[in-house]
Amino acid sequence: MLVQRECMDSITFKSDTVLSDVHMYTPNIRHLMVRLNAVGQPEHTMDTTLEDVGKQVWRGAFLLADYIWNNSYLFRDCTVLELGAGTGMTSIVMATVAKTIYCTDVGEDLLNMCERNIIVNKHIYEAAGSEIKVRELDWLRDDLCTDTKNPYCWSEEEIAHMYDHTDVLLAADVFYDDDLTDAFFQTIYRILSNLKNPSTIYLSVEKRLNFTLRKMDVTCDAYDHFRLCLADLENICDGRTKFIVEPIKSSFPQFLSYERVEQLELWKIIAEPFKSNAQQ
Ligand X SMILES: C[S@@+](CC[C@H](N)C(=O)[O-])C[C@H]1O[C@@H](n2cnc3c(N)ncnc32)[C@H](O)[C@@H]1O
Residues 110-129 that bind ligand X (CB under 6 A): 110
Residues 76-95 that bind ligand X (CB under 6 A): 84-87
**In 36-67, which positions are buried (b, 16+ CB within 10 angstroms) versus exposed (e)?**
eeeeeebbbbbbbeeebbbbbbbbbbbbbbbb
Site string for ligand X, 219-258 (x = CB under 6 A): ----------------------------------------
Residues 180-209 that bind ligand X (CB under 6 A): 180, 183
- The nearer residue to ligand X, 189 or 274, going by C-beta atoms, is 189
- The nearer residue to ligand X, 140 or 244, going by C-beta atoms, is 140
Integer Cα distance of 33 and 29 in angstroms = 7
- The nearer residue to ligand X, 85 or 162, going by C-beta atoms, is 85
- The nearer residue to ligand X, 244 or 261, going by C-beta atoms, is 261
- The nearer residue to ligand X, 153 or 183, going by C-beta atoms, is 183
**Which is nearest to 144 in space by CA: 133, 131, 156, 128?**
156
- How would you class 82 by CB atoms within 10 Å of its CB: exposed for 0-12, middle for 13-18, buried for 19 or more? buried
CB of 277 vs ligand X, minimal distance in Å: 39
Residues in Cβ contact with 159 at an 8 Å cutoff, skipping those fewer than 6 apart = 144, 146
- The nearer residue to ligand X, 172 or 266, going by C-beta atoms, is 172
Size of residue set near ligand X by CB under 6 A: 22
85 and 91 in contact (C-beta within 8 Å)? yes
DSSP SS3 for 186: helix
CA angle at 161 for the pair 155 and 166, rounded to the nearest 5°: 130
168 and 78 in contact (C-beta within 8 Å)? yes
Q: Does 138 bind ligand X (CB under 6 A)?
A: yes
Residues in Cβ contact with 64 at an 8 Å cutoff, skipping those fewer than 6 apart = 90, 170, 172, 202, 204, 266
CB of 182 vs ligand X, minimal distance in Å: 11
Q: Could you say which of 43, 47, 66, 105 contacts ligand X (CB under 6 A)?
A: 105
CB of 96 vs ligand X, minimal distance in Å: 17
Q: Does 66 bind ligand X (CB under 6 A)?
A: no
Would you tell me the crossing angle of helices 221-234 and 178-194 to the nearest 10 degrees?
20
Number of residue whose CB is nearest ligand X: 54
Give the residues lining the site for ligand X (CB under 6 A).
53-54, 57-58, 60-61, 84-87, 105-106, 110, 137-140, 172-174, 180, 183
